[in-house]
Amino acid sequence: MRIISLNAWGGRLHEALIGYIGQADPDVLCLQEVLRTPGADCGWSIYRDAGLELPQRFNLFAEISAALPGHDGFFFPTSRGELFDGDRTITAEFGLATFVRKTHSVIGDGLDFVHGSFSADGWGAHPRPRNAHCIRVFSHERRRAVTIAHMHGLRDPAGKGDTAARQDQAAALVRLIERVWPGDEGLIVCGDFNVLPDSATFTILAGLGLSDLVTGNGLVDTRTSYYLKQGRFADYMLVTPGVKVGKFEVVEAPEVSDHRALLLDIG
């Protein structure tokens, strides 16, 4: 079974992103920073915030769904706000997406906010709302289930250091996982946590028996050449001892975001 976690960066490297997802052919795809605009076509828009302007694919969820016709797609918004295409205003949703190959059975499911609550009338104040999704997936080929959770951690303009909000976020993630994970099967937790490797987040997650494959393999960079700041940790993939790791890779090429994809094959 192949699990990929990726911050999609709003689809800013759209062509490369769509091509990579189809080629990598994941069984479970965990995506952060995804936009959805129900009932709309697909194309480019501009996100504006305090003088910052970023190009975004305003219906990225629909585009990835079309690229993965053999998967069921699930979208979970944290907020709903305005994007712009010239003089046109587009009302879009922002959040997480999870795609699961249709030949697998989803036998457990949980969703909750790990910071804040749904913002229906704008993107929300910083640090903005964040959620997490947790599923149990039964592989008929492997004849067993695995639990997979992913989160987009809150972004604090002050940086990635520990805060009370980040510790509360980690505790909320644990509570969500415990609602879904039976405890006697493999558990994988991944995503863009927006924390540093020495964060208390990992101490809290270690209470579930989780250890990180990024730092555990001596890797020091989960960002691509499109990320120009210092502090190049953001994305993590944690597993319990019962997960049989066949391959783990922080994907260097192709670059499909300012984050690198994390790829895990399990036996």
Q: What is the pLDDT of residues 220-255, one digit of tens each?
A: 999 999 999 888 999 999 999 999 999 999 999 999
In the structure, what pLDDT confidence band is assigned to residue 50 with cuts at 50, 70 and 90? confident
Specify the pLDDT at position 95: 98
Domains and their CATH numbers in the chain: 2-266 (3.60.10.10)
Q: What is the pLDDT of residues 77-114, one digit of tens each?
A: 999 999 999 999 999 999 999 999 999 999 999 999 99
Tell me the pLDDT of the chain averaged across its residues.
97
Specify the pLDDT at position 115: 98
pTM: 0.97
Specify the pLDDT at position 215: 96
Specify the pLDDT at position 157: 87
In the structure, what pLDDT confidence band is assigned to residue 31 with cuts at 50, 70 and 90? very high
- Say yes or no to pLDDT of 176 above 90: yes
What's the 3-state SS for 80-114?
Answer: EEEEEECCEEEEEEEEEEEEEECCCEEEEEEEEEE
